[in-house]
Amino acid sequence: MEKLRAKKGFICDMDGVIYWGGRLLPGVKEFVNWMQENNKEFLFLTNNSGKTPLELKLKLQTMGLDVDESHFYTSALATAKFVSEQTKHCSAYVIGEPGLFGALYECGVVITDKNPDYVIVGESPSYNYETICKAVDLVRNGAKLIGTNFDMTGPSNRGIIPACRALISPIEMATGKQAYFVGKPNPLMMRTGLRLLGVHSEETAMIGDRMDTDIIGGVESGLDPILVLSGVTDKTEIDNFPYRPRLILNSVADIPY
């Protein structure tokens, strides 16, 4: 545990680590206070593509936690950065929430359903059969398929719900095309997090609740992988994976300050 406390940087997932639905998880305030008081560099790196950093800041404020918006980086921001750098003045048909649309607009991506360069899929309550059919038609006609993140499911107030990889699967199956996922565990997003913090990977811990995104992302990017059981992963599931976290904690409340 002393090795964890000595880290200069902390990259933390949000859903299942910081909060569950609309509820702040136990020990989070103490953890964030400890990082602030000890001048730790920290970033909330979330695969949630629906909200902007400002909206995430305000969400935490309603739960009693005040963190500047500069401490947030989302898969929507990573996706917008990726496609705008891959194809200048590109266009996209988008299935997602305002945070994704806003990030794409900020990077100059034109939103259209007329011969777009990309079909970009994130989580969306407006996801329906018609949007699937439209996306399938566009991908069949040459648009490249992009997923904002690799999460199959996610936690919510109603329990575990489908996330991006589940929503994009029908489009992949109907077109025979595999999506490229930009969010965790893609090293692109992990390296961006390290650059924003200004720290090296060996000086940084990755704290998350998912083996298939947070922990493998930490392992492959050279971060110290720490799994918390406060989210979607049960301890009995860990042996199903060929890689392991260095530490397994019930929650961030287990970190002694």
Please choose, from the candidates 128, 139, 142, the residue with its C-alpha nearest in 3D space to the C-alpha of residue 174: 139
Q: Does residue 140 contact residue 113 with C-beta atoms inside 8 Å?
A: no
At residue 204, φ and ψ (nearest 5 deg) are -130, 140
Please state, as a whole number, how many other Cβ atoms lie within 10 Å of the Cβ of residue 171: 24
* Residue owning tokens 């401490």: 71
Rounded Cα distance, 168 and 133, in Å: 12
3-state secondary structure of 224: strand
Q: At a CB cut-off of 8 Å and minimum separation 6, what does 35 contact?
A: 10, 42
Active site residues: 13, 15
Cis peptide before 185 (omega within 30 of 0): yes
